[in-house]
């Protein structure tokens, strides 16, 4: 069987958004599943809008997602000699020609066509003139005037296009810059691309590209046009729907595996399974299960899936991704037993790494400040006696194991006649500054006596000051 070779060809005119990322992921997954090759190509022939900053942003996004490439990156602006060679092949074989019609002349042609009830298009005036190359001449492809061009799409199925609706489209502008449809075909031929998975906004380009493949005597690749990603109002995805750069999701605390999982499931299915690791996706991904309907982007579903990925991760795998979020709060961490224990307590309650970092602060801050509502409700005179008794018992305790802490709290309950909640909630506020946290025994065990005792004493002083 022929080796599968896919490609991802972004234009460096902005950041990599989620729609482009999904296209990259589909091509990458299929190449990996089929043990093929994945090629990265930068389509930078739009020299006015292409920037190095956008190139760097695309690389950064792909690297964060873990999308690696086997060949490339190729840059179209470095391949003009190859394009000129292929343009000359078409001219020499009488399948392309020079055209000197002015923009004003072409406008008149289009207006005439529309007046006659036809589509606005170039009328082929220079088609048989045999003009030579000149400064103002473009090169046009000599499209067939009759018959049909058929696209066999692995996603959309059998599509037929009438050739008489295609005009002799330009393949090289007068400034010598070749056009999109032409360079894409030449690139795919010379890079041996045999599987093209892309957004269905490219469907109308496909018949033109098929004609170019045939004119150049090259076999057609397998085409698969993936439906677009839409917002929940079924409009094209925009910033208001969450169509930010891929790295913006990184900066919001999403895991790359979760974003990949979510974007793949927007247009592809494998039974009812929703949660996939990267390796699971590589094992089962195929083109047959890509759907024909648009994917609806839902940030709440992405958040829920991210929470699942955080929960499923080993604490050690979350240390490095968590570092920048804690650093924003002035906390530097290294991978040690302490941070691993901290992360483990926060995994069940974190939707993003940003959530986790915010919830982790009390483990590291030297001075805990109380949420006003929490302090008013729980750090009050009724809590003074049980907190004092608990402080004394914990100060005398050498081993902060879960079972020992349970015994200490039970002893305080017996001595005061209070239920666990009446003791645990004031203690929770004393240790964390808030009413919600991981389990009280867990946090006491992790914080240890050097943090727990001073915080409890501070809370006692706070309550006593309220009384006076």
* CA atoms 193, 197, 199, 204: torsion sign: positive
Residues 408 and 450 in one domain: yes
Angle between helices 353-364 and 337-346 in degrees, nearest 10: 130
For 53, 390, 392, 405, the CA distances from 414, given in Å and listed in that order, are 66, 12, 15, 14
Residues 355 and 290 in one domain: no
Residue 198 corresponds to which tokens in the numbers above?
A: 């892309």
Q: Is the pLDDT of residue 117 over 70?
A: yes
In a domain, 85, yes or no: yes
> How many domains, in total, are found in the chain?
4
The residues near 77 (Cβ < 8 Å, ≥ 6 apart) are 44, 45, 47, 50
Catalytic residue check, 119: no
Residues 461 and 402 in one domain: yes
- CATH at 356: 1.10.8.70
In the block, tokens 């974190």 appear at: 350
Q: Is the pLDDT of residue 4 over 90?
A: yes
Q: Is the pLDDT of residue 464 over 90?
A: yes
The more confidently predicted of residues 233 and 252 is 252
Q: Is the pLDDT of residue 6 over 60?
A: yes
Residues 340 and 244 in one domain: no
β-bridge pairing 148-153 and 157-162: antiparallel
Domain range enclosing 97: 81-172
Last residue of a domain, one of 155, 172, 189: 172
Last residue of a domain, one of 365, 392, 408: 365
Residues for the chain: how many in total? 468
Q: Tell me the mean pLDDT in the region 375-398.
A: 96
pLDDT given at position 145:
92
The more confidently predicted of residues 238 and 327 is 327
Q: Tell me the mean pLDDT in the region 245-257.
A: 96
pLDDT given at position 240:
59
Residues 346 and 382 in one domain: no
Q: Tell me the mean pLDDT in the region 227-239.
A: 78
Q: Tell me the mean pLDDT in the region 310-321.
A: 98
In the block, tokens 């915080």 appear at: 455
Residues 386 and 452 in one domain: yes
In a domain, 191, yes or no: no
- CATH at 301: 3.40.50.620
In a domain, 205, yes or no: no
pLDDT given at position 241:
57
In a domain, 460, yes or no: yes
Last residue of a domain, one of 279, 297, 312: 312
Residue 409 corresponds to which tokens in the numbers above?
A: 């709290």
Instruction: Give pLDDT tens digits for 263-291.
Output: 999 989 999 999 999 999 999 999 999 99
Residues 55 and 101 in one domain: no
Q: Tell me the mean pLDDT in the region 207-230.
A: 96
**Of residues 368, 382, 372, the one with CA closest to residue 467:** 382
In a domain, 277, yes or no: yes
Quick check: 207 and 32 in contact, CB under 8 A? no
In a domain, 88, yes or no: yes
pLDDT given at position 239:
57
Residues 275 and 347 in one domain: no
pLDDT band at 49 (very low <50, low <70, confident <90, very high): very high
Q: Is the pLDDT of residue 296 over 70?
A: yes
In a domain, 347, yes or no: yes
Residues 388 and 463 in one domain: yes
For 20, 30, 32, 240, 322, the CA distances from 281, given in Å and listed in that order, are 18, 9, 10, 29, 25
Residue 314 corresponds to which tokens in the numbers above?
A: 């080993």
Q: Is the pLDDT of residue 244 over 80?
A: no
Cα–Cα distance, 399 to 363 (Å, whole number): 19
- CATH at 463: 1.10.10.350
pLDDT given at position 448:
97
Considering the entire predicted model, what is its pTM?
0.93
In the block, tokens 């190859």 appear at: 82
| DSSP H helix total and E strand total for the chain | 19, 12
pLDDT band at 238 (very low <50, low <70, confident <90, very high): low
- CATH at 166: 3.90.800.10
Residues 307 and 259 in one domain: yes
Helix (H) or strand (E) holding 261: helix 256-265
Instruction: Give pLDDT tens digits for 388-440.
Output: 999 999 999 999 999 999 999 999 999 999 999 999 999 999 999 999 999 99
In SS3 terms, 191-257 reads as CCCCEEEEEHHHHHHHHHHHHHHHHCCCCCCEEEEECCEECCCCCECCHHHCCCEHHHHHHCCCCHH
In a domain, 410, yes or no: yes
Residues 127 and 52 in one domain: no
Classify residue 427 as left (phi > 0), alpha (psi -120 to 50) or beta.
alpha
Catalytic residue among 239, 327, 373, 410: 239
Residues 279 and 255 in one domain: yes
Cα–Cα distance, 208 to 168 (Å, whole number): 10
Q: Is the pLDDT of residue 242 over 70?
A: no
């Amino acid at each position: 069987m022929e080796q599968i070779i896919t490609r991802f060809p972004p234009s460096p005119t902005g950041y990599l958004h989620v729609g482009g990322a999904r296209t990259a992921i589909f091509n990458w997954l299929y190449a990996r599943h089929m043990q093929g090759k994945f090629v990265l190509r930068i389509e930078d022939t739009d020299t006015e809008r292409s920037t190095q900053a956008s190139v760097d942003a695309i690389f950064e996004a792909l690297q964060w997602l873990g999308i690696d490439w086997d060949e490339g990156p190729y840059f179209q602006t470095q391949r003009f000699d190859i394009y000129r060679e292929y343009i000359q092949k078409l001219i020499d074989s009488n399948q392309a020609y020079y055209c000197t019609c002015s923009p004003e002349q072409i406008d008149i042609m289009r207006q005439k066509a529309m007046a006659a009830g036809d589509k606005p298009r170039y009328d082929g005036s220079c088609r048989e003139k045999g003009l030579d190359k000149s400064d103002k001449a473009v090169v046009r492809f000599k499209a067939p005037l009759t018959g049909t061009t058929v696209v066999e799409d692995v996603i959309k199925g059998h599509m037929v296009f009438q050739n008489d609706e295609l005009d002799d489209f330009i393949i090289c502008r007068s400034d010598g810059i070749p056009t999109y449809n032409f360079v894409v075909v030449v690139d795919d031929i010379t890079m041996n691309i045999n599987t093209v998975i892309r957004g269905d906004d490219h469907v109308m380009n496909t018949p033109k590209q098929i004609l170019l493949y045939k004119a150049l005597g090259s076999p057609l690749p397998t085409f698969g046009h993936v439906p677009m990603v839409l917002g929940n109002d079924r409009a094209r995805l925009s910033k208001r729907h969450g169509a930010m750069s891929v790295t913006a999701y990184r900066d919001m605390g999403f895991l790359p595996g979760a974003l990949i999982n979510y974007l793949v499931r927007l247009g592809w299915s494998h039974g009812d399974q929703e949660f996939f690791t990267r390796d699971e996706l590589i094992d089962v991904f195929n083109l047959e299960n890509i759907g024909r309907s648009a994917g609806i982007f839902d940030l709440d579903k992405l958040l829920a899936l991210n929470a699942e990925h955080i929960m499923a991760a080993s604490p050690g795998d979350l240390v490095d991704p968590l570092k920048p979020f804690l650093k924003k709060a002035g906390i530097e961490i290294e991978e040690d037993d302490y941070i691993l224990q901290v992360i483990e307590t926060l995994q069940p309650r974190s939707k993003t790494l940003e959530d986790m970092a915010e919830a982790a602060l009390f483990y590291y801050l030297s001075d805990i400040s109380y949420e006003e509502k929490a302090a008013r409700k729980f750090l009050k005179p009724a809590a003074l006696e049980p907190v004092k008794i608990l402080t004394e018992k914990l100060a005398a305790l050498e081993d902060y194991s879960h079972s020992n802490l349970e015994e200490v709290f039970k002893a305080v309950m017996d001595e005061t006649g209070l239920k666990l909640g009446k003791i645990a909630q004031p203690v929770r506020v004393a240790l964390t500054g808030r009413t919600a946290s991981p389990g009280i025994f867990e946090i006491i065990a992790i914080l240890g006596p050097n943090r727990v005792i001073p915080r409890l004493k501070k809370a006692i002083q706070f309550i006593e000051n309220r009384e006076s």
